[in-house]
Amino acid sequence: MSLKKYKEKRNFSISPEPSGKSHSIVSHKRRLAYVIQKHRASQLHYDFRLEFKGVLLSWAVPKGPSLDPSVKRLAMQVEDHPLEYGKFEGTIPEGEYGGGTVMVWDKGDWIPESDDVSAALEKGDLKFTLEGKKLRGSWVLVRTRGFGSKPDKSWLLIKHRDKFASNEDIVATKPRSVLSKRLLADIASDNGGDVERAATGDPAKTPKSKAGMKRKVPAQNKKIRT
């Protein structure tokens, strides 16, 4: 596990992202940090991160997680991130790697369901339990054959059938940050980002229906007080 690739891709004199530091590895820990960051860069995606051996293992999930066990979400493995990144919420300047708005969409703990996480990762079949504020229960990351120049980096994120499984579209029903309760547009506005682009990752605002609007009474029909 190394942060070399992470640091090579960033200019920390410009980007507010944490540079990270070395952390001691506690091999007997069973409850480890988990975070999902909603990221409106060139495209909207969800960065799924699991603490392991002093870093955050990371996968980019284009459509976000699904609570429906029949739905398999593509998860492209990317470079490891520092543990400090799990608290990052803000705007990465345009022109920088990953330029755009970042939200902490969910966070909590993850518990491996196998005794040897390294072996599970090597095999490409990592089962775990999430205890987040939005996502809970049993999940699996399965490496798939993939496509393109990095077929070994292609995984599927799948919810197991348990009491937390449902057909709720969780990314649509719970779009706000678990840290600040803000939407992406709010985060961009507060940090000098591109509000218009960030807003494309938020739920569309629906106008009030005519039925829900207070009807104005024509003047000639108003009761005249005496």
Report residue 102 as tokens: 């970042």
pLDDT digits (tens, 9 = 90+) for 73-127: 999 999 999 999 999 999 999 989 899 999 999 999 999 998 899 999 999 999 9
pLDDT value, residue 177: 98
Closest CA relative to residue 39, chosen from 30, 29, 49, 31 = 49
- State mean pLDDT over 151-180: 96
Measured CA to CA in angstroms, residue 128 lies from 90, 124, 155, 192 at distances of 29, 13, 15, 37
Task: Confirm whether 134 is domain-assigned.
Answer: yes
Range in 10-14, 59-63, 159-163, 211-215 the model is least confident about: 211-215
Range in 8-17, 128-137, 189-198 the model is least confident about: 8-17
Is pLDDT of 223 > 60? no
- State mean pLDDT over 152-156: 92
Report residue 106 as tokens: 């969910």
pLDDT value, residue 220: 47
Question: Looking at the 3D structure of the chain, how many domains does it have?
Answer: 1
Mean pLDDT rounded to a whole number for the chain: 87
pLDDT value, residue 26: 57
pLDDT value, residue 51: 96
Could you tell me which residue, 126 or 10, shows the higher pLDDT?
Answer: 126
> Rounded to two decimals, what is the model's pTM?
0.84
Q: What are phi and psi of 28, to 5 degrees?
A: -90, 0
Task: Confirm whether 150 is domain-assigned.
Answer: yes
When pLDDT is cut at 50, 70 and 90, the band that residue 210 belongs to is: very low
Could you tell me which residue, 53 or 7, shows the higher pLDDT?
Answer: 53
Task: Confirm whether 13 is domain-assigned.
Answer: yes
Distance CA 111, CA 53 (A): 14
Task: Confirm whether 11 is domain-assigned.
Answer: yes
Q: Tell me what percent of the residues of the chain surpass a pLDDT of 70.
A: 84
When pLDDT is cut at 50, 70 and 90, the band that residue 6 belongs to is: confident
Phi-psi region of 108 (alpha: psi -120 to 50; beta: other; left: phi over 0): left
Q: What is the DSSP string of 80-121?
A: EEEGGGGG--EEEPTTSTT-EEEEEEEEEEEEESSS-HHHHH
Task: Confirm whether 226 is domain-assigned.
Answer: no
State the residue range of the domain holding 116: 4-221
When pLDDT is cut at 50, 70 and 90, the band that residue 204 belongs to is: confident
Q: What is the dihedral of CA 62, 64, 67, 73, to 10 degrees?
A: 20
pLDDT value, residue 130: 98
Task: Confirm whether 40 is domain-assigned.
Answer: yes
pLDDT digits (tens, 9 = 90+) for 55-66: 999 999 999 999
